[in-house]
Amino acid sequence: MRMREQFPFFAAHPELTYLDSAATSQKPQAVLAALHDYYVEDNANVHRGLYQLAYATTEKYEAVRQQIAAHIHAARPEEIVYTRSTTDGLNLVAASFGPVVVRPGDEILVSGAEHHSNFIPWQQLAERTGATFVIAPVQADGNTDAAQVAQLISSRTKIVALASVTNVAGGAVAIRPLADRVHANGGFMVVDGAQQIAHLPVDVQAMGADFFAFSGHKMYGPTGIGTLYGRYDLLEKMPPVQFGGEMIDTVMDQDTTWAEVPLKFEAGTPNIAGVIGLGAAFDFMATLDLAAVRAHEQALVARLRTGLAAIDGIQLYGDEASIGIVSFNLTGVHPHDVATILDEAQVAVRAGHHCAQPLMARLGVPATVRASVGVYNNEADIDRLIAAVQSARRVFDAVI
Amino acid sequence: MPLSKLDQLYRQVILDEAYHPRHHGTLPDYDHSVTLQNPSCGDVLTLQLKLSDGRVADAKFSGSGCTISQASGSLMTDLIIGKTPAAVQQLVETFSTLVIDGHAPAEEALGDAAILKGVHDFPARIKCATLAWKAASQALSKGERHD
């Protein structure tokens, strides 16, 4: 079956050019079917019931943990913690692991290109613990400057938190050399993998990540489910931050002991359907040739950058190697005006600060327009976007 | 031929208003200053008002934003100069109804500002259009000089 036909969304919106997959991807039929089938055939709570159905559903639910561990090359399935999202995972690390290792006078280091969800938790952790929050300068094109990050790592650095692919300029960051440096200094490497997971292979051990967070919904899976990978010995040291069902060993009147990793971090009835849907999304990913996907997405990025660069007054961020993301501005035109004109042309892109206000301040703009591609996009999508930006340029011809 | 929704939104008069706004800048002496943000798009607008004899004697706005918020700031300040606070509050109400519903009782009182009616067809942009008017309402609902 052709790629686009696997996504019912496009049959429902035949006129729409969807170029906002970095915000959320569309879902293949296989994922939708898995969600439906779970509720029709397998709906039972996990890790509780003793009846056969509950047991079988728990098996399926735990099998996804193994599947994720294999996909991202975790050492063992217990290193996979189910979360709501990337944001949820990063907040869990900051709230639970942060106070275990960060002391007054220590440093927590991020890049100025981070998404708010990999920025604010660390800013707040620094404030709570008396640590210093250090922000590495970014490249002029909006990408993380790995050399600047490396230079700022010292024996004071307890945590380095970086996106492996940035969400505005779309550049990939080589994590391993930075992880080696932070480890040599006694610190820990936290990776925001939200924009990597759908586009590039992930090997958490090879990259040297102590923690790696991602969301299901950006990799063709459902919303409301994500994963936090954590090194087992570190997860063991971390206290739970939410309390309730499923996460306990024994509850006494005055004391409670916790379940083993990872269940101690999964209080309450989890998003079972989401986990099953995420498993189906990984099955879908397994049908893809990621090298071919990368080549396809790179060709679309190149076509878009070339087409936009020919328009008078275009400012492009990132570079040709961007992982499926092209952010731009039309000089003299507010990005929201551009987005409204693109919307009228049935081209869906994101315009705004992309939850990266510190980066916008560094680039000296209030916002950017961001187009991003998925496996279902084609050259015609790119050409419609370029034509729509040209027409936006014409609307403002008389005033800019 | 009637204008398309988009042409209606980006009429030349609106573009001119946004790119050559009237009453843009700051007042050396003012009675009220209010800064509002539109967190979803990053627009920031500061409105300063000088009152005299129970009327708005002067008004200026500053900040950065899209065509719609800038045009709206220009049209709003031009409209409220000379009006009483009660009359301004009524105009704010009328304008808000106009851009949300597409029509409003006594909308002719808005004068030139009624050209922003086309925003009604773009629900995502209503907040851009109303930002300056909200600032005016807030400024005048506070009794004394403040920043």
Q: What is this model's ipTM?
A: 0.87
Domains identified in chain B, total number: 1
Asked, for residue B16, whether it belongs to a domain, the answer is: yes
Min Cα distance A314 → chain B (Å) is 17
A226-230 β-sheet, strand order:
A80-83, A226-230, A211-215, A188-192, A157-163, A107-111, A132-136
Contact residues for B15 (Cβ-Cβ < 8 A; gap 6+): A395, A396, A398, A399, B67, B71
CATH class of the structural domain A289-395: alpha beta
Please give the single-letter amino acid code of residue A100: V
Return contacts of A40-45, CB within 8 angstroms, 24+ apart: A42/A276, A43/A272, A45/A269, A45/A272
* Torsion sign over Cα B112, B118, B119, B120: positive
Ranges of CATH 3.90.1150.10 domains, chain A: 289-395
- CB-based contact A247:A258 (threshold 8 Å): yes
DSSP A260: P
Contacts of B116 in chain A (CB under 8 A): none
User: B144 lies in a domain?
Assistant: no
Structural domain contains residue B133: yes
Nearest CA in chain A to B43: A366
Residuewise pLDDT in 10s, chain A (400 residues) = 689 999 999 999 999 999 999 999 999 999 999 999 999 999 999 988 889 999 999 999 999 999 999 999 999 999 999 999 999 999 999 999 999 999 999 999 999 999 999 999 999 999 999 999 999 999 999 999 999 999 999 999 999 999 999 999 999 999 999 999 999 999 999 999 999 999 999 999 999 999 999 999 999 999 999 999 999 999 999 999 999 988 999 999 999 999 999 999 999 999 999 999 999 999 999 999 999 999 999 999 999 999 999 999 999 999 999 999 999 999 999 999 999 999 999 999 999 888 999 999 999 998 999 999 999 999 999 999 999 999 999 999 888 7
CA distance A9 to A26: 7
The two tokens of residue A56 are 């079988």
Asked if A270 contacts A20 with a C-beta cutoff of 8 angstroms, the reply is no
The answer to whether the beta carbons of residues A89 and A192 sit under 8 Å apart is: no
Q: How far is A338 from chain B (nearest CA, A)?
A: 10
Q: Please indicate if any CB of chain B lies within 8 Å of the CB of A337.
A: yes
**Residue-wise over A221-248: b if at least 16 C-beta within 10 A, else e?**
bbbbbbbbbbbeebbeebebeeeeebbb
Q: Which domain holds residue B26?
A: 5-138
What's the topology of domain A30-286? Aspartate Aminotransferase; domain 2 (3.40.640)
Which CATH number characterizes residue B38's domain? 3.90.1010.10
| Partners of residue A335 in chain B, C-beta under 8 Å | 41, 66
CA B59 to chain CA centroid, nearest Å = 11
Counted across chains A and B, CB pairs separated by less than 8 A come out at 54
- Give the alpha-carbon dihedral of A89, A224, A354, A133, to 10 degrees: -20
Rounded CA separation B14/A162 (Å): 43
